[in-house]
Structure 1
Amino acid sequence: MTNPTRSPLPMASAGCACCAPAPATDHTTPAEGTTPSRSTATYQVEGMTCGHCASSVTEELTTVDGVSEVHIDLVAGGISTVTVTADRALSVEAVRAAVEDAGYTLVNA
């Protein structure tokens, strides 16, 4: 018995641009003896339903001064988890404004 070759999901490889997988990120560690100056915070966002929604939120959040990375765990039609990494601590108001500019709601922050 042979193992069938596994191929990526059609949507992930040839689907719409908004639902394509995010590019790999560099997860290097800081040099020994240095302290990372990055801050990571997690927020709950309501109203996102697809990759395009996540892309819109990511685009708005990356315009906030200091934001270096955004990761979204999408729960279509539910409350999604948005993790924001920045060079410094961000105010909740700045994050809320960016999320609302994208058309979504920051929950319990």
Structure 2
Amino acid sequence: MLQSYGVNVQAAFLVQQALEIFVQWQPDVLLNGISSSKEDGYALIHQVRTLTGERGKVVPAIALTGTVTEDMYQHALLAGFSLCFAKPVVIDDFVAVLGILAIANNPHLR
């Protein structure tokens, strides 16, 4: 769905694969499912936030999950996410949020 809005997307299903894509591709925003049967999405955000250099520390990250409670939202923020969304998302609003985060974080997009 995001691609139909002109968003460039790279997908990964494992933390190591996602980290490799992140380092090579350097996205403007990271979307990360935090509930997974294989690996916890918190593992990826922890690795991204501890990357050497500024890139991993400054890229906005959105946690996606089936349900968002206040505790889960706070935990996601403390883990290093910028926002936490429950799925399914309202795609128009979600793309607008992605755009705002990407533009705010990347002076080349302004």
Smaller-chain TM-score bracket:
under 0.3
* Greater Rg by CA: 1
Q: Normalized per residue, which structure has more strand?
A: 1
Q: Normalized per residue, which structure has more helix?
A: 2
Question: What TM-score results when the alignment is normalised by the length of structure 1?
Answer: 0.27
Question: What TM-score results when the alignment is normalised by the length of structure 2?
Answer: 0.27
